[in-house]
Structure 1
Amino acid sequence: MFRHWSLRKKFIFVFFVLITLPTILFGSLIYYQATDVFKDQAIENINARLEKNNENLLENLRTIENISSFMIYDESFRTFFTTPEEDVIVAREAENDIKGFFTFQIMSNEYIDSIKLINENGDVLNFGNPVRGSELSLRREAVANEGEPVWSNTYELYSDWSGSHHVISLTRIINDINHISEPIGMARIRLDEEQLYNRIEVDARQQGNFFVLAKNGEVVLHPNREFAGELYPEQDVIDLVVHHNKKNSVYETDGEKFLIVKQSIPGTNWISVIMVNQDDVVQSLYNIRSLIVYMVIILAILGVIAFIGFYLWHIKPILALTEQTKQLEKGNFSAKVNVNSKDEIGRLGTRFNQMVVTIQKYIDREYKLKIKQKESELKALQSQIDPHFLYNTLDMIRWTARMENAMETSKLIERLSKMFRMNLNKGRMWVTLREELLYIENYLELQRSRMGERLKYCIYYDEQIKDTKIMKQLLQPVVENSILHGFKDLSGTGEIYIRCYLFGKNILIDVIDNGAGFAASDTDQIRDGFALENIQERLNLATGEDSEVKQKSVEKGAWVQIKIPLYDIMEGNKKESGENK
């Protein structure tokens, strides 16, 4: 079915079904796949951020725990925790060493707010920010853990330097290294909540909030300082973080959806959380999806432009050429295609126009040739001589001459009979070169029987062109002109030399005589020119303007050269079949 469609229908089908529709389908597929990919990528980025923040937090917590562990093994700390009150000098030396150590730690870790040491005698040693506040519950919890570090939630203290602020503290009972179950003192290291958060969350410009909740719902770390040490204001978030096992969950409030990603922090009762508005997560995705939509729309617009352009510049000229071909088929030889380009279609239109002109030229030529032929036939009818009757009569006379032993007369009559037979030639205009030369040979033999030794001739032709078709009786007017006019006043022997040979894609026929040459008088010049012009006109009608009859320069006599385009036997047969129809 597709093969029988018009070119316009095929083009529309190819454009919309094989180009436009796949473009839309693939664009939609990419659109939705990109949505899933970018969502997964956004979640991966959030998880990576949470992992990184947890690593930072754990690193800082381990640093503080290592400081507290150092107190168990260091000689200065053990001296402070175990020296009696009366041994003041030893205690002071230990305090100086401890002071240097803590000064270095506070300077190196700016998130350390203050440090408090209590020995078994009840002596207290404070370093860093001087603070006040209730911390009794932390001591009881530390005692209950028997030397394990205890991390508190965020709580508020008052400082003489900076006023009220929130801290997180590690409290630990220091046991004797030699008697591991015997406590010798207590250490508390307080961390500034704001400084610690800033140290953990390196890039606060990222989407959503990172914060840490205790398992009781209290806020341990949060970018909003007002939340520190308080219950998280939204109970649903506390339930999702504390009581649900899913690592990722979605929380919806006031028409907005939030993606919650959580992870427990080892060694504490804390849970780190990142809470991101889903609109923020997929905002970049929306931009990408919009870009894909715009690309599909632009491709569709470009496709329509390409469709219109291709139709106007390629399909429409072909349709116009088809229409003009139909007009030519109906016999309208005024058919013509407007050519506006030089591409293959433009060249096709140009050649179509040239073909129409050539066909018209051939038709005109064939028409004129037929008219000439009809005129010749009319003249033959007017002469009242039936060629068949004349041929049969000559044949009868030839046999009568033979019966009377007039052999020479019989030969002459036979030659004349052959000439009439060639004239008849079944009404055909075209003969082979060999047949034409045989006709000239018979004509020259008849003339030589009249002129005797005063006429000599020589005929030469290439073997390869002997079967080439030419117009019949093409050479007879030239040869006759040489005998009747060239040899008229010649005192010696008249010689005619005829040669036919191949030259390029043409056949050249030379007729050369040693007669008087072309006439000098006005009357004879007109006569000779008319004979050559008549041959030229016949050739032009038959073969086009490529044929040529011209006079060549020669010192004595005349030289006429006829140039004919080469037609092989098949071409001649085509012409003959055209005549006989």
Structure 2
Amino acid sequence: MKWTIIRFKNLSLKWKSFLIFMILVSIPSLVLGAIVLFQTDQMLRRQAVDSTVRVLDTLAQNVTSIMENVEDVSSYMIYDNQFRKYLYGGKDQEEKEFSNLQDSIHAFSAFQIINKRYLDSIQLQGLDGVLLTIGDPVTVDESKWVHAAEEAQGGYVWSGAYPVRSTWTGEQKYVISLIRQIHDINDLNKTIGLVRIRLSESYIYSLISTKGFSPLTGSVSIVDSAGEILSYENKFYIGKTYPDPVLVKQMNEGKNLFSYSNKSGGYLVVARKIDHTNWYLVAKVDEFEIIKNLDAIRTSIKGMTLFSITLGIMALIGFYWVIIRPIIELTRITIQVEQGDFEPKFKVKSNDEIGRLGLRFNKMLRTIQRLIETKYKLEIQHKESELKALQNQIDPHFLYNTLDTIHWTARLENAKDTSKLIVALSKLFRISLSKGKLWITLEQELEYVRNYLILQKQRVRFPLYYEIDREDHLANVLVPKKIIQPLVENCIIHGFKENRESGSIEIRCTSQDGSLFIDVMDDGEGFNPQQAHSVITGDSEHGFALRNIQERLTLLFGETCGLQFFGGEGNGAHVRITLPIIHNEEAMNYRMGKG
């Protein structure tokens, strides 16, 4: 067993996929297909019956809900004070008051008819000849049902389906009515009116018809206990006795599910009694249709089994081309990269996980190449710097000791300004050398600029003012050496004319969203930002200092860092340096590689 597992692990992805497909897809599909076919007959027959029962229960609930809603409307009319006052007639009421009552009742009834589409019309009959009809006025003899309502003494009386003729259209239609006496609630023996609420048989049939339900429910009808049909698809049978007395007999015996046969064939019948009535909802299904549907389903299951296996084979092929083949290709390119060839690129053909893996792999290759190139360029620049330092080498100790001697000589001669300048120059040299380091803290860089400005104040022929400000937490942020001084030098050389009254330089260091912003601003002649941009992009022969800073920053940190120019001619100069906030050399080296 262990040897089998080891051999499976050593197989290629192609063979592993094929074996997994056979074990987990093909064989189980064949076995499950056989089991499903074996159990299909009984299961689908049971489903056909259950489906019909569920649908019929839902339809019965729909009819019951309608009847309850209509009964609630009639009860509201009995207990509402406005309806009772109206039914007493206008004998003891002013004409205006009676008219308002009629309008209010008419509005209520019209609202019910509009919102309950199964309502055909509502008719109220009261004392003193009061008669109000809302909806379609019909002409029909309803004395049979009125007499039954009188005997019911305020109880609910539901009629059977009977034809009426519309006064509006002149067409014949069938309605089912709720007819109920209205008694004075203060004197239950006193009858004050009669309400007729007529329901549209066609709308009720639309609710119980099988459209939207299972096709196995067949034909549906509403039949009362005497066998009279209240609602049916063929309007010819409405109001007539059901043509098959055997079905009515078994239904009245309380059989909810039974089969019976006649000259037309065999049928499965499901009956549900509608609550609070002697009505039955009856669904009759042709058993031949059930068998025919079962045959179709059997054939479908066989076809689906074969189809699923075919799809599985196609999925296996697609899996090979979409997943396995790109992985094999990526493996091949990785071997080439391992051998030192960085030229091959993974061809990305999709945006899925494999495609994104390919994109990241290509990005990784570009990053490695950029790191190699960056390290190579930095090493060349470092070697050039070392060569220049050797060519112009002055012993730092000798230089510091000499400057210190001059400083104390100036102090002894009481030349305080000279002494101050010598100290500034000494600090300038000390920070400039900084033991050969590439990075210094922002505070050291600002100290370097501060000493440079002290020296420049003595050189220029006009008062020079400066202000250096930084946020406290930025003091130890690492920055490349000598990136601010060239900008200050440009302010003095190009920004200020010799004959001006004074000059002002402001250096402000702030932070936002992980970035350090160093703004150098003056009140000099200013410049054109577009021309300044052309300088750092190499489109101009001038501006070596600016271009050098820009190249250093983009080389070290990427395109997101560098110089930005603001303002315009005559409005002073404003240059911003953008750097990442880094506090140690390990993070700096990581950020350089990421850039």
Name the TM tier (shorter chain): 0.3 to 0.5
TM-score by length of 1: 0.47
Higher Cα Rg: structure 1 or 2? Answer: 1
TM-score by length of 2: 0.46
